[in-house]
Structure 1
């Protein structure tokens, strides 16, 4: 015996599917992709940070002995603007076991940050954090445990944009702002 759906049951199933799709669109897709969050759920889940509109960065390069004196490689000075109430990620592509020396400071406001890396080719969303805190500045170095993109996520909880001056040296290529 073959089971068939009546027109009424098919119509009801279609309406339920459309309602679920609408809820997913409003609650998850719009906040993550377009920073439109009519319900506030996207902000609570951290999805609005993924949209990242308004974040910007400028880069200047120079030879410097201040960082990375062993390899005498180029040092990059990067200015990242973290918009009010938002978060931005700034990344570098690095091979396994490569070292980066860094120093960053804000123009005064403390920012939550997560220095982390994401393995190349990973599609699960896995990342490894190297340092997490809320500070106005930090100086240090790290050696990459795997090939992939590595860098900072800064979150600005204030009501004014915060400028981060990031100075880096090492074996990397700049990916830049990640959306």
Structure 2
């Protein structure tokens, strides 16, 4: 047992004595190259040399700039940095809506606006509430058919694309559950033939 421990300690001392210098680029026995420690040491030495060269190349002040003529010569020899190019700001394309319908809702009041669409037709929409929030139901109906696309409570705005699941009327129902009047503004465009507020 004692001989095993001594052998392990001797091997560790030998490894430190032989391998560690290889990490710094010195490998007299060649074992460092076998263990790839020499390569690591060479890379470290190369990086250190490059850093030293970069530091030496960055002049703190021109040595020959003792006179006005010397300074002018030194400045003329150095190319001036080009001015940064102006950054072009691309404005988001403005959506041109086909229809815009504002509706004022008193507390507790509801209203419905529907688009007449054929199956698979798509209508882009955006609605916002001024002065509060509303509950809403996006749905569609036709003789013998109905569908609810989305519902929400206490919502101040929504936007997206409404795709008709079948030929018929598709649109929104809003109800003001607040204590003050609100104004719902619906904007639409796309594949529909008619838009109307239901009574």
Give the TM bin, normalised by the shorter chain. Answer: 0.5 to 0.7
Higher relative contact order at CA 8 Å, sep ≥6: structure 1 or structure 2?
A: 1
146, 160, 164: which is aligned to 1:127?
146
Bigger shift: 98-107 or 165-174?
Answer: 165-174
Structure 1 stretches (4+) deviating beyond 6 angstroms?
none
The within-5 A match list for 1:83-102 is 83-102=106-125
Segments of 5+ residues of structure 1 without an aligned counterpart are 1-63, 68-73
2:194 aligned to 141, 162, 174, which one? 174
Tell me the TM-score normalized by structure 2. Answer: 0.49
Residue-by-residue CA offset, 1:143-164 (whole Å, 9 max, x unaligned): 1110000100001112322111
Answer whether contact 2:131 2:181 (CA < 8 A) is retained.
no
Q: 2:135 & 2:141 partners in 1: Cα distance?
A: 19
The structure carrying a bigger strand percent of its residues is 1
What secondary structure does 1:117 align onto?
A: strand
Q: CA–CA distance in 2 between the matches of 1:161 and 1:175?
A: 24
* Corresponding position of 1:80: 103
- Normalised by the size of structure 1, how large is the TM-score? 0.55
Secondary structure at 2:141's aligned position in 1? strand
Comparing both structures, which one devotes a greater share of its residues to helix? 2
1:157 paired to 2:182: no
SS, match of residue 160 in structure 1 = coil
Q: Distance in 1 between matches of 2:146 and 2:174?
A: 15
- Counterpart for residue 163 of structure 2: 143
Aligned alpha-carbon RMSD (Å): 1.8
Equivalence for 1:113: 136
- Choose 1 or 2 for highest CA Rg: 2
Structure 2: gaps (5+ residues): 1-92
